A and B are shown apart, each in its own frame.
Chain A
């Protein structure tokens, strides 16, 4: 725990010790299910058949993890998820930055009207268009491809809205100065404005990545060949009837295994993610 601060810190008025203890207690509740799964994953399926309270007793085994390395398709699913999430993040960042810049700082015919229409897009839930989209993608044969998995969420208006807000917040003097040098509109955007929005890019990027990583319905009906399963769908395909399946231990190990890479990446970038969310979202 922290030592008492000698210098005055404003936050010490909100954060105090009892609150911290409650938070610590909540964190135990938070971790209990995870500990349970990790426990199950290091027990043999035979032991677990006798009852899961055996988790609290020896012996433990890494057999389930070895089995995954030998047989699970989790690697492929993981790769698919990565391609889809990165592709979607990249696409959203490019489209939203371009559009946000223009909506915020440029003048062109019907700018306001178009912006209001895009804002209406915020109110369209994915579910309202998913069936029609599924049929459209049939016509173009886009199902079971990375493009088919990446495209739909590029239409999300959230990114455009967020980036517009950000570009608006940048002081006018900056690009007006650049204009004196007769720089082209795109050059101003690319060389001057875009670097200023990096925190926003990070925020939007993280939101988009997480959304794509966790997306369920669209990949469920679009990626129907197992080669194209995302991690979410792949795990779901082996999850439901686990009595007929490989057992609690194996499934737990699979869940742990499948979460590890994201968790590791998260831990490495944790500081940046926190700053990004903090710096970006509330302006």
Chain B
């Protein structure tokens, strides 16, 4: 028995043993993946490629520049909000968390995150140094609730090598992209005929986000105001029906890859399994790196464009962005200062982050020669104007995205009729929003 007692005491001691740190410690929690194997020691940010590499190198660099500050990074499964919820509920929230603009209203309305204006002010960062889109994304009730880091949209990543083969390239070397649904179908068929490969590489499996983003985009392009009331979505509309039918038609005509999940879709495009990847800004850096290597499917033949305007309404693409928020908790003044320094560092290095392909959140980056000389950025510059998010007051946007993805996915894959899927999505979302 005594032995039992000792071991439980030992366990208790392990459980409550405090960790002593002379340095100021910031707990940072983020998605963007884990890549310590490749970038764990890298402090030369310019050598890093891709979201994971660049953010890992940025934090390493910050720690190297600020010997008195330790940043303890936890990587969570994307998007990590259920884990964050459990942490907030148990009072174990980290100091800094990566958060989509579209998720901020959930936490802000419930008083779970802090306004960061004082932190920015202490570091001399002016709110109007950020782009309007970025600033709007994090601003609620005239306060900023996160450090904006970028803006992103879905894009058309184009494999020019295959497009040439399909005869879909202009004399100047730019790809011929559709300007209407009919053109999309015709060009898609032509592509398939000439190359034997699907025209689009889409993420249609085990993911809900892409379906929702494409639906929002197609609705916006038809000028549909589906969230006139932030507590009520309207999907039983001709516009929504047209949008989903378009998505279904692309699949039914065999113009897209099917059954690919996110990682499979990313590598399928890199391997030349299709002409155009419908995926986010964050992949530009990776794909450019691939196209600069010889012997890959993208060698010397990669470019990228915004999702084309397929409906006469207006040119628009659903956009969102990443930010860094501070959960409400007790912090020492040293910690707040350290977070301020980190925010300042991240804002100053927003160019590095923009190398991923994201649009910078800091205005000044747009004027940097370095940024202008990044490949393909002029093609997609317009998304700064055409990018549009959901109304800021809409809550639970990730849960809504899951519902839409599930229902629209069912319609596209033929498990449900389009009307049925839209009706079911509408009633499920409205039940969710009616019971906030």
Q: Which residues of A contact B (CB under 8 A)?
A: 49-51, 64, 67-68, 70-72, 83, 87, 90-91, 94, 134-135, 137-138, 141, 143-148, 150, 190, 220-222, 224-226, 236-246, 250
Contact = CB atoms under 8 A, between A and B. Distances in A.
B180 interface: no
A138 B33 contact: no
B77 A239 contact: yes
Contacts of A135: 89
A250 B37 contact: yes
B320 interface: no
The 8 closest A-B pairs by CB, nearest first: A243-B263, A244-B33, A67-B37, A71-B36, A143-B90, A146-B15, A221-B86, A226-B74
Contacts of B8: 87, 90-91
B284 to A, nearest CB: 14
Contacts of A238: 33-34, 75
B40 A146 contact: no
Contacts of A242: 263
A143 B31 CA distance: 22
A146 B14 contact: yes
B15 A147 contact: yes
Most buried by B among A135, A137, A146: A146
Given A72-B36, A94-B4, A143-B92, A87 B267 contact: no
Nearest to A52: B267
Contacts, number: 110
25 contacts: A50-B271, A68-B37, A83-B14, A91-B8, A134-B86, A143-B91, A144-B92, A145-B15, A146-B15, A147-B15, A220-B83, A221-B86, A224-B83, A225-B27, A226-B72, A237-B34, A237-B74, A238-B75, A241-B78, A243-B262, A243-B263, A244-B78, A244-B263, A245-B52, A246-B34
Contacts of B91: 138, 141, 143
A220 to B, nearest CB: 8
Given A83-B14, A138-B90, A236 B36 contact: no
A244 B12 contact: no
B267 A241 contact: no
A180 B38 CA distance: 71
Contacts of A94: 4
Contacts of A87: 8, 11
A68 B38 CA distance: 11
A246 B37 contact: yes
Contact of B76 (A134, A138, A237): A237
A224 B86 contact: yes
B366 interface: no
B113 interface: no
A243 B290 CA distance: 14
Interface of B: 1, 4, 7-8, 11-12, 14-16, 27, 31-38, 40, 50-52, 72, 74-78, 83, 86-87, 89-92, 262-263, 266-267, 270-271
B158 to A, nearest CB: 19
Contact of B87 (A67, A146, A224): A224
A71 B270 contact: no
A36 B121 CA distance: 55
A245 B11 contact: no
Contacts of B271: 49-51
Given A146-B11, A246-B35, A225 B74 contact: yes
Contacts of A143: 90-92
Given A143-B90, A221-B86, A224-B92, A240 B36 contact: no
A159 B11 CA distance: 22
A147 B12 contact: yes
Most buried by B among A67, A138, A244, A246: A244
A242 B52 CA distance: 11
A68 B40 CA distance: 11
B205 to A, nearest CB: 13
Nearest to A226: B74
A59 to B, nearest CB: 17
A49 B78 CA distance: 22
Contacts of A246: 33-38
Contacts of A222: 86, 90
Nearest to A63: B37
A83 B270 CA distance: 43
A91 B16 CA distance: 18
A39 B271 CA distance: 21
B88 to A, nearest CB: 9
B77 A236 contact: yes
A240 B11 contact: no
B78 A150 contact: no
B80 to A, nearest CB: 9
Given A67-B37, A246-B38, A49 B92 contact: no
Contacts of B11: 83, 87, 146-147, 150
